[in-house]
Structure 1
Amino acid sequence: MEKPRQSLQRGNICTGTVEGYSSEGLGVVRLDGAVVFVPRAVRGETIDLRITKVMKSSCAGEIVKIHTPSPERAAPECPYFGRCGGCDFQHLSYPEELWAKRRRVQDALKRLGGADVPVEEILGAKEPAHYRNKSQYPVGPDGSIGFYRARSHEVVPIGRCLIQSEVSDRTAGAVGDWMRRYKVSAYDESTGRGLVRHIYVRVNAAG
């Protein structure tokens, strides 16, 4: 892949069309021989984007203007989306999310594995919310319970998660109450001290 040209400099505003998605749900725009990864961009949209970071063969960007929003663009149901790093596709419709995940598998087989194997359509879940039976909640040094912000160990406090089971959220909350009531310390990475670092919950089909 060619290196970015001089026009792709930090702060510059460019126009491009979103071709697909990265594994983290970032929109992929190709400009001047470089791939630009843009959060919350949707396939098919033509956007104005601002370059926020220039790397060796790719760039990061942010949306300045969407010329024509995609019909597959969705309003995230989760109030923590964009802060919590747990979900990447909440800005997409469910069919578009399934397309993105199918394409990811297809690309891995062909581009990385060298196998020209067609991947069939993904069968979507009847109910795509509250499906997880295993949950791991990190605990921040201040006792906050939630999930990590993307690419960090900063805990975003979360009371209710749309993909965890409701009983898991209630269990994590009960552990937090117990920690506060009995002054149980949370683990602090900077000091290596503290008792509780994660809350791990498993739930069976009966709840």
Structure 2
Amino acid sequence: MSVILYGYHYSVYTRIVRMVLAAKDIAYRYVEIDPFSDNPDLAYLDLHPFGRVPVIRNGDFVLYETAPIARYLDEISPPVLLSPPDPESRALMMQMIQIADSYGYWPMVRQLFAHRVFRVAEGEEPEENVIAEGKVASRKVCEALDKLAGDGDFLTGAAISHADLHLGAMMAYFTLAPEGLEIVNSFPRLQRWWQGMASHALLRKTDPGLPVA
């Protein structure tokens, strides 16, 4: 394989793909892309028409959107897959990923983490009204995830899955904000899962750190 990952250093979704690559021991070359640039790279828009990250290229095959990238990388690197063996657990895995993407990413990462932690690291002032909105929406998301989480070490059972990597990347940012950690700790199953997942080697290896003002 000759995999190239195009991503943004601080992107949650780039980190998810990096965790899959690390979990499956896939060698790759990394290319940094700034999706917030006012002057987007026109060549990159040929790879991703919406100018977002991440994108992977494997030979002549190009793929964007995190969930299909993660499944593709998983399936081309057997034998141990990052999906549960039974259809019900796989469906729950996908449900949790969809919840995180549709309802969790914006309040947990773009509102709470970005304003309470990332902006401060860059020397900017947080917007408290945005943080307050993020707290309300994030609590609802965490409540839903807590009800779906299993009793094992990981979200869908005894083995790590795509759900753990997907949610783990978001939670790593979310819980850096005191409000985020407080919310997670108010839900027993989610708290237990995060206490184990927070120190997982895949998260440690892919920690992007924070900017320095």
* TM-score normalised according to structure 1 size: 0.28
Bigger radius of gyration: 1
Name whichever structure is richer in strand by fraction. 1
**TM-score under structure 2 length normalisation:** 0.28
Pick 1 or 2: higher relative contact order, CA cutoff 8 A, min separation 6. Answer: 2
